[in-house]
Amino acid sequence: MARKNVAAGNWKMNTNISQGIELAQTISNAGRDKEVLVILAVPFTHIFALQKKVKTSSKVILAAQTCHHKTSGAYTGEISPTMLADMKVPYVVLGHSERREYNHENNSLLAAKLRAALDAGLKVIFCCGESLEIRKAGTHISYVKTQLTESLFQLDAQEMKNIVIAYEPIWAIGTGETASPVQAQDMHAAIRDMLRKKYGKRVADNTSILYGGSVKGSNAKELFGQADVDGGLVGGASLNGQEFVQIINSF
Ligand code: PGA
């Protein structure tokens, strides 16, 4: 089985529920040129309404943007992976750089979250990526390798079929500055090589690796055209229905 093309929208802390419904309907009603798995990572508060109001199919599915690493307990304000599974949310995003930065999520906490999410039966979009400082120092590949080694690579080969990796250089997120197609391809090829060394060719060939960081309607085609770029995790541009549809049709 070849790996899937994936277009994932990360709405972050944006939209009210009616805006979210309208946005998701625009996306789910649009025609598709190719087989693409579309995942919408929405605020927790929107999940129930979107499940009721939007024609979801195997082609448009929902994700939560994070979850806790415990299944229940005295953790005020948190949502557990079992709660998401109970709501039949198929995916959760873990390791986004904004969570790493603002919520101090480090690699070992993310390893615990991955474990809990998979144990609950969720699939995971797992994010990694370096800061501008690290990119300038030229140590970005080893930095990402450490991120993956200390978290994602705690999983076994069988579990990797539930993982989509998103490479998101922090310097390109929300800045309008996109990694060049060559920069994206170089990192994606390096990640695939890490997967090959850790898990073998089958896992490496079957794991979708998404690029994230100022993906737009105007640059998606070139990025997705790279051999090891299997799609995108899209923030800002996923809030515009027409533009996100254009991105979905960029494969
Ligand atoms: P951006 O965000 O597309 O707005 O750069 C990407 C992300 O944070 O997932």
C-alpha span between 7 and 36 (Å, rounded)? 7
Question: Would you state the pLDDT for residue 160?
Answer: 98
For the stretch 187-233, pLDDT in tens is 999 999 999 999 999 999 999 999 999 999 999 999 999 999 999 99
Domain boundaries, the chain: 6-248
Whether residue 165 is predicted with pLDDT greater than 80 in this model: the reply is: yes
Question: Which ligand 1 atom sits nearest the alpha carbon of residue 172?
Answer: 5
CA of 52 to the centre of ligand 1 (A): 27
CA of 236 to the centre of ligand 1 (A): 6
CA of 170 to the centre of ligand 1 (A): 9
**What are residue 100's phi and psi, to 5 degrees?**
-60, -40
Catalytic residues: 96, 168
Mean pLDDT, rounded, for 82-111:
98
Mean pLDDT, rounded, for 147-167:
98
Question: Would you state the pLDDT for residue 58?
Answer: 62
Whether residue 1 is predicted with pLDDT greater than 70 in this model: the reply is: no
Question: Would you state the pLDDT for residue 126?
Answer: 98
For the stretch 114-151, pLDDT in tens is 999 999 999 999 999 999 999 999 999 999 999 999 99
Whether residue 57 is predicted with pLDDT greater than 90 in this model: the reply is: no
CATH code: domain 6-248 is 3.20.20.70
The label of the residue with tokens 């750089």 reads: 97
Beta strand segments in the chain, E: 6-10, 37-41, 60-64, 91-94, 123-128, 163-167, 209-212, 231-234
**SS3 per residue for 18-46:** HHHHHHHHHHHHCCCCCCCEEEEECCHHH
Report the b/e string of 22-54 with b at 16+ CB within 10 A.
ebbbebbebeeeeebbbbbbbbeebbeebeebb
C-alpha span between 99 and 77 (Å, rounded)? 15
Q: Percentage of residues in the chain with pLDDT exceeding 70? A: 98
* Mutation test residue for ligand 1: of 14, 66, 178, 233, the one with most atoms within 8 Å of CB: 233
Mean pLDDT, rounded, for 80-93:
98
| Ligand 1 pocket member 93 (CB < 6 A) | no
Nearest CA to ligand 1 atom 6: 235
| Ligand 1 pocket member 235 (CB < 6 A) | yes
CA of 228 to the centre of ligand 1 (A): 19
